[in-house]
Structure formats: structure tokens, C-alpha cells
A and B are shown apart, each in its own frame.
Chain A
Amino acid sequence: MDRRHFLKLTAASLASAMAAHPQALLAAAASHRPAVLHVDELQTLEAACDLLLPPVNGISVRDAGVVNFIDKLLLHEGADQLPLYRSGLGLFRAAARAAGADNWSALAAATKQRFLEQLEDGHLAHSPAEQQALFQSLRFNTLLGFLAAPRHGANQHSAGWQAIGFPGHLHYQGGVSDADVAGLPPH
């Protein structure tokens, strides 16, 4: 299978897998205890997500519960991505071990940055297509975890929406006046 084909397949399966069991994710979102990832893997992922999406207006991926979202996603809607994460996280572990660190998150910021760049380019010692698929998935899921509606277990306490100044579903709040839309100073 060539690389482009692999990436295409992954994108298609991302969408279709996520459509499969929306209720399951809603239920799992209630718990913050790790479901499929180990504690050290969560620590690694959180550090990676934080580099992919550093705090926006001071609000971080940790504030939005992004890694908890990804953990539950891999249990349910994104279960078919789990093998990709498992083998990919092995690369993170190997890099940490080579540098004598307990966890990838403990590496120097520049080292982690370089690692993610290599992952994006498919230049680590592993199948390039899989590395790139993991990178794309991680970036996509980080954005979902930060910005999707809280009812999906993402964006906890609407932290991501607050970060970017998105007001959310204003129909719930009785709507907005024409004057507010216009944003003109009162006469």
C-alpha cells in the first residue's frame, strides 16, 4: 500500500469510525479515569498535545481535558486508531529511553519539538506512513478535544471555546439582539 493511499484510508476511517458509537463516548466522558491508555502514555500524550497546541490565551489542552477525550475516543469511536497509537507511543518511549528519561514528557522542549517534526515528516525509525498517520490523527484529535462540544467529553467546562472567544450555542441563552450583532455604540 503506498503512503498516500494509507493516509487516505486513515482519514476515511477516522470519520466513519467516529460515527459508529456516539452514545458510547458520551457515557465514557463522564469518567476521567484512564480507559485504554496507561498513565505514562497519558503523560506522554499530554506533553505532545501541549506542543501541538500550546495555551491559547492562557488556556491549555490540560484545562480542556484533551487527553481524557482522546483516551475515551480510542475506547469507542476511534477504537480502530488504537493500534496506531500503541505502536506510535512505542516510538515516544524509545526516544525517552535513549535520552535516559523516564517519560518523553521529561525531555527538553527542543528535543520534543524536533521529535514531533520528525514524526510529521515520517523520519523516525519506523514506517513513514504510519508515523504521518499518527501525527495527523494526534493533531486532529487534539483540535477536537479542545474545540468540540463538551457533550462529547471534549472541551471540558467549555475551556477551549473560552480560549478562542466562541460563545457556544446561544439559542440556549435566549439569543442575541440585533443591536448586539451590529456591535455599534448605543445612540
Chain B
Amino acid sequence: MGKRTEWDVCVIGSGAGGGVMAERLSATGMKVVVLERGRHYSPDAFMQQDELSNVIRQDFFLPDYLETQRETSSDTAVPGKYSLMAQTVGGGTVHWGSWSWRFRPDEFRVASVEGEVPDSSLADWPISYEELSPYYAQAERALGVAGHAGGNPFGAPGQAMYPNPPHVYRPASRLIEQGARRLALNPFPIPMAINSRIYGGRGKCMNSGFCSSFGCPVQAKASSLAVHIPAALATGHCTLLANCRAVELLEGEGDRLRGVRYLNEQGKEQVLQARQVVLAAGSIGTTQLLLQSTSGRFPRGLLNTNDQVGRNLMCHVFAMVNFEMDDPSHSALGPPGNVAVDDFHPSNASRGFIRGGVIGEAIEATPIVSALKAASYLGRSQRVWGHDLSDYLARYPYIGGLIMVGEDLPVASNRIDLDPEHRDSQGLAVARITHRRHDNDIRLARYFEKRMADIAEAGGARRTWATDYTGVKTGSGHIMGTCRMGNDPQTSVLNRWCRAHEVKNLWVVDGSCFPTSGGYNPTLTIYANAYRVADHFIALNSRGELS
């Protein structure tokens, strides 16, 4: 890399959105550089992971990361690691659970479907399901999603055949399946981006647990680390700069950026020049970088003239029900979850809330987290120790679970901004999370808790118990919003192609562009949208219209 190299494209962040952009653009011969603040692991390093490092301390994927969190702007934000999103080559796709859903068509036009909802900033997406559908299929092929097309009568229409067959059901999956059938519901295999057979040059899943929250040592689990970044590097047109953190987007002339200032591996400041910049640092990282990049034109941060950068932060609402069964659940074996029920997804205000979510099998957590949930099993928050605790731990092999991923409503005051009180080890203001749930989220979660308990009981569970997850914010790992796409530059940050309204050569291609969150895990939609944007980018470039 010569000192005066001008790159065609600089991609910041190598997760779901960044991985696809790097691969697609470099495949057409564009000269691409990827800046990634985290390190580049080789898969064998994932043999060294364990629960204490990855989940409790979070020093494997987030060795040097700090943010602060509070409920409302009048609270004091408390420092910690809340968001669980891996800072590493491949981003959150390295340790995701790989549940890979298409959003339903109505999830792209929630404002039109639901009308005005007090205290929520609902908006329609500027794109439709139909427009995204072929890109969903492209993402499913690239990731080798395993599933059963047509298995979900409540899912998006026109689901193409999945490239791989579903994973085998464990005993806990069968209990759920049986319970759902007895209640006349429609259980089906969760679509998962985990190889159920050798596919795409990657091995078959070893069924070894330690999966969600962990990297896959054999790359059976698809990720940008295993799929997109290697493909980008193989073009010979992509350079990956790991351990390099972008700290400022540099304005040039005429509504354009001229490049990016970053800290290299040694912490030394560097500047690179690029004709186009693709920001894909995740909803939090993207906001942080935009707000850090101030100028005379953008005193409140780049693209933030309308004060929309960082707003409408969403993170889904979860509900969780565990159950105890007579036989071993085999939760510790196989990929994370196998069977789903989607009958309660369609919005129906007569239930006391709008919107919905998907129910999926949740394998019981790894041992420490499972132990920390003993209070829910015992139904009390004091005296969660002694023989009752030991008795609970002895039941570990017999525990299974259900989780609901629910659509949370966007709220304008839920946001990321820069914390004026706290700085990280590199001296930069940390991201501050301000998030308080809309009441609708809580009502939705409570409804689903009951439905999940019904399913487990109908399937023959000895006992069921719920753990309240409504207090979890970005710790869900599903972090969306903050840089909405939309047709109106007054109320959004990006246009329908994820291109900034206010800066011509800046694109934001990650979870931050979501106007609403959908009632499914978000990442297949991030991937599909990135393929869509990449196609448009390439078309403009080939017509010489990429200004």
C-alpha cells in the first residue's frame, strides 16, 4: 500500500454488511480496503474459547471495549460491556446463533399497517419484501442455510428451497414439536446458517455445542469471517487491515468525503483516501464514528443535521421459558435450537398489543449462565442457594427452552450518543446507550411467555418457568436502527440505497439502516440488504455514475 494510494472503496467494519460489500465490490475489480478494529482470528483459535472468557467476562471478542448505559436521559449512565457484539474480523456473525429468517412483507410497512402509535416513531421501509426477496435467496445460498422451505405457513411467501436440509431434532426439539402439534400449531425447523452437510467448501456441523456466543472452529457455521472476507481477499483486489480502528470520516469538497482517519495496530494515526466510503461498523460503531466526525458543516456530527443519527435504536424484545423433561434434553449437543413455531407472529391488536414475534427452541445456556438463572426456576430472588440450588443444577441435562424474538417498537428517544463523561483506552468518548422499552414490548413478551409455557406443557414438560428478559437492551445482540433509511431527508439519514442523503460518497450498510425491527432475528435481512445495495453500487459504477 503506497503512501498516496487512493482506494476505490474503504469499507469500515467486516461484519454482516461490511463482509458482503467487501466481497461484491472487490469481485468487480474495485480496489477495496477493509478497516476492522478487531483482530483476525483463525478458526483454530476458537478451540480456546470458554464460557468465562466469551460470555461472562467477554474478553475474547471484546477485549478492550467500553460503553455506558441508562434508561432515560435523566439517569446516570453506568459503564460496562452491554452489547455483546464481537469486535473482530467477521463482527457479530462470528459468534451468532445463525438463525436466518426472512422478514414478513408486513414488517416492511408497519407504519401503514398499524397507523399512528403513541410514543413510537414507526416508519415504513422505503423498500418492499418483493424487492428484497431475490437477495434473501442469494444470502441463503451464500450462507448455506439449512431449513425446510414451505414449513412455515406464517413466514414470508415465495421461500426458495434452502441449500441444505434441516438439522436433526434433539429430544427437547421433539417435545416442543409434539406440544405444538397437540395445540394445533405448525412447528417447523428453524432456518440456520449452519452446514447440515458439507457445503460451500466448509465442513458439516460437529454438533458440539459452544455455538452461539462462540466462534466455530470448523467453520460449519457461516459468517463473514468464514465466507465473505476470504472470498474478498481471494479476488486479489481487497486488503484487510485488522486491528485498525476508524476514528474520523474526513470531509472533502462538494458534499463528499475524501478519506478516513484511523488508528493502526500500534495506535498510530493514519489517513487513507478513498473515492467511496462504506460504513458498516454496526448500529453502535457506525453512530459513534458519525458523531465523532464533526466539522463546520456538521457541528453535531456527520449526517446529523436533522438530529436523527443515533435515534430509534431497537434491540428486539425477548421472552424466555425453560422446561424440565423426563429424558435428557441434549441441549448441550448440536447447533443452537432446532424447532420453531410462528403461529403467533401476525399482528392482532385484540391481544392487547400490536406486532408479534417468532418462537424458537433455545438450547439451555452454558453452565454458568444456566446457574445464574436458578432464581427463575425457584421463583424467588433471595435464598437462591443451598440444597435448592444444587438440586436445580443436578437437573441441567433435563432442561430445554423456548425463546421468543419479538418486534420492538422504535422510540425516538432510544438512542446512541457519545458519553461526555467516559473515555475508552484510546481516549475516545464511549458510546452511550439510552433505552427504555415501549409498553407494547412488555405486553408482547408476557403474552408469548404464556404461549411458550402452553407448548412445553402440552409436549409433556414436568415443569416450566419463565425468565424475564424485558430488561435486556442491546445485550440481546440484535442492534438495529440509529441511521434510518427513508425517502424523506428530514426524517431519515439514508436514502433507499443506504446512501447518505447529505454526503454523496458515503454509504451505511449494516443493521443501523433498519426503520423497524421485524419479529425475527435480523442478520439475514442485513445480509440480503447488503447484496441489494452492492448490486446498485456496482451498476452505478459500471455506468460511470458513481460520483
**Inter-chain contact B58/A171, CB cutoff 8 Å:** no
A183 at the interface (CB under 8 A from B): yes
Given the known inter-chain contacts A143-B368, A147-B371, A175-B206, please indicate yes or no for A183 contacting B50, CB distance below 8 A. no
B52 at the interface (CB under 8 A from A): yes
**Inter-chain contact A52/B385, CB cutoff 8 Å:** yes
Contact residues in A for B368 (Cβ distance below 8 Å): 143-144, 147-148
**Inter-chain contact A175/B207, CB cutoff 8 Å:** yes
**Complex alpha-carbon distance, A180 and B169, angstroms:** 10
**Complex alpha-carbon distance, A117 and B47, angstroms:** 41
**Inter-chain contact B387/A54, CB cutoff 8 Å:** yes
Contact residues in B for A169 (Cβ distance below 8 Å): 47, 50, 208, 210
Given the known inter-chain contacts A52-B386, A174-B206, please indicate yes or no for A16 contacting B372, CB distance below 8 A. no
B251 at the interface (CB under 8 A from A): no
**Inter-chain contact A18/B328, CB cutoff 8 Å:** no
Contact residues in A for B390 (Cβ distance below 8 Å): 53-56
Q: Mark A143-187, 1 if CB is under 8 A from B, else 0.
A: 110111101101000001101111101111111111111110000
Given the known inter-chain contacts A55-B390, A143-B368, A149-B52, please indicate yes or no for A117 contacting B383, CB distance below 8 A. yes
B466 at the interface (CB under 8 A from A): no
Given the known inter-chain contacts A53-B389, A56-B390, please indicate yes or no for A164 contacting B206, CB distance below 8 A. no
Contact residues in B for A179 (Cβ distance below 8 Å): 168
**Complex alpha-carbon distance, A53 and B207, angstroms:** 31
Nearest CB of chain A from residue B343's CB, rounded to whole Å: 25
Nearest CB of chain B from residue A136's CB, rounded to whole Å: 11
Nearest CB of chain B from residue A133's CB, rounded to whole Å: 15
Q: Mark B368-403, 1 if CB is under 8 A from A, else 0.
A: 100110000000001111110110011011000000
Contact residues in A for B168 (Cβ distance below 8 Å): 178-179, 181-182
Residue of A with least CB distance to B49: A169
**Inter-chain contact A148/B50, CB cutoff 8 Å:** yes
Which of A15, A117, A163 has a CB less than 8 Å from the CB of B57? A15
Which of A121, A144, A171, A183 has a CB less than 8 Å from the CB of B218? A171
Given the known inter-chain contacts A55-B390, A164-B397, please indicate yes or no for A176 contacting B371, CB distance below 8 A. no
**Complex alpha-carbon distance, A146 and B385, angstroms:** 14
**Complex alpha-carbon distance, A53 and B171, angstroms:** 29
A12 at the interface (CB under 8 A from B): yes
**Complex alpha-carbon distance, A12 and B69, angstroms:** 12
**Complex alpha-carbon distance, A176 and B383, angstroms:** 38
Contact residues in A for B47 (Cβ distance below 8 Å): 169, 171-172
**Complex alpha-carbon distance, A167 and B367, angstroms:** 10
Nearest CB of chain B from residue A73's CB, rounded to whole Å: 11
A80 at the interface (CB under 8 A from B): no
A94 at the interface (CB under 8 A from B): no
Residue of B with least CB distance to A148: B52
A19 at the interface (CB under 8 A from B): yes
A139 at the interface (CB under 8 A from B): yes
B435 at the interface (CB under 8 A from A): no
Nearest CB of chain B from residue A162's CB, rounded to whole Å: 11
Nearest CB of chain B from residue A8's CB, rounded to whole Å: 6
**Complex alpha-carbon distance, A154 and B51, angstroms:** 12
**Inter-chain contact A166/B367, CB cutoff 8 Å:** yes
**Complex alpha-carbon distance, A139 and B78, angstroms:** 23
**Complex alpha-carbon distance, A160 and B390, angstroms:** 11
A90 at the interface (CB under 8 A from B): no
Contact residues in A for B382 (Cβ distance below 8 Å): 120-121
**Inter-chain contact B385/A165, CB cutoff 8 Å:** no
Residue of B with least CB distance to A54: B390
**Complex alpha-carbon distance, A143 and B52, angstroms:** 11
With an 8 Å Cβ cutoff, the count of chain A residues facing the other chain is 51
Q: In B35-63, which residues have CB < 8 Å from any A CB?
A: 46-47, 50-53, 56-59, 63
Contact residues in A for B489 (Cβ distance below 8 Å): none
**Inter-chain contact B57/A19, CB cutoff 8 Å:** yes
B334 at the interface (CB under 8 A from A): yes
Nearest CB of chain A from residue B238's CB, rounded to whole Å: 29
Which of A117, A148, A183 has a CB less than 8 Å from the CB of B51? A148
Contact residues in B for A163 (Cβ distance below 8 Å): 393-394
**Complex alpha-carbon distance, A183 and B330, angstroms:** 8
B451 at the interface (CB under 8 A from A): no
**Inter-chain contact A149/B383, CB cutoff 8 Å:** no
Given the known inter-chain contacts A171-B206, A183-B327, please indicate yes or no for A53 contacting B385, CB distance below 8 A. yes
A100 at the interface (CB under 8 A from B): no
**Inter-chain contact A181/B330, CB cutoff 8 Å:** yes
Nearest CB of chain B from residue A14's CB, rounded to whole Å: 9
Instruction: Please indicate which of the listed interface residues B169, B171, B366, B396 has the most CB atoms of chain A within 10 Å of its own CB.
Output: B396
**Inter-chain contact A175/B208, CB cutoff 8 Å:** yes
Instruction: Please indicate which of the listed interface residues A116, A148, A169 has the most CB atoms of chain B within 10 Å of its own CB.
Output: A169
**Inter-chain contact A52/B389, CB cutoff 8 Å:** yes
Contact residues in B for A160 (Cβ distance below 8 Å): 367
Contact residues in A for B126 (Cβ distance below 8 Å): none
Residue of A with least CB distance to B218: A171
Q: Mark B48-92, 1 if CB is under 8 A from A, else 0.
A: 001111001111000100000000000000111100000000000
**Inter-chain contact A143/B209, CB cutoff 8 Å:** no
Given the known inter-chain contacts A18-B57, A19-B59, A181-B170, please indicate yes or no for A51 contacting B334, CB distance below 8 A. no
**Complex alpha-carbon distance, A144 and B170, angstroms:** 28
Contact residues in B for A15 (Cβ distance below 8 Å): 56-58, 80-81
Q: Mark A10-29, 1 if CB is under 8 A from B, else 0.
A: 00100110110010000000
Residue of B with least CB distance to A169: B210
**Inter-chain contact B207/A183, CB cutoff 8 Å:** no
**Inter-chain contact B206/A147, CB cutoff 8 Å:** no
B151 at the interface (CB under 8 A from A): no
**Complex alpha-carbon distance, A152 and B49, angstroms:** 11
B534 at the interface (CB under 8 A from A): no
B217 at the interface (CB under 8 A from A): yes
**Inter-chain contact B386/A51, CB cutoff 8 Å:** yes
**Inter-chain contact B333/A170, CB cutoff 8 Å:** yes
Given the known inter-chain contacts A147-B368, A148-B368, please indicate yes or no for A176 contacting B208, CB distance below 8 A. yes
**Complex alpha-carbon distance, A54 and B393, angstroms:** 11
**Inter-chain contact A22/B57, CB cutoff 8 Å:** yes
Contact residues in A for B53 (Cβ distance below 8 Å): 22, 149
**Complex alpha-carbon distance, A179 and B168, angstroms:** 8
**Complex alpha-carbon distance, A152 and B372, angstroms:** 19
Please name the 5 residue pairs, one residue from A and one from B, whose CB atoms are nearest each other, closest first: A175-B206, A149-B50, A170-B208, A165-B397, A164-B396
Residues of chain B having any CB pair with chain A under 8 Å: 46-47, 50-53, 56-59, 63, 78-81, 167-171, 206-210, 217-218, 327-328, 330, 332-334, 366-368, 371-372, 382-387, 389-390, 393-394, 396-397
Would you mind naming 7 contact pairs between A and B with Cβ atoms under 8 Å apart? Answer: A15-B81, A19-B58, A53-B389, A147-B371, A171-B210, A181-B334, A182-B169
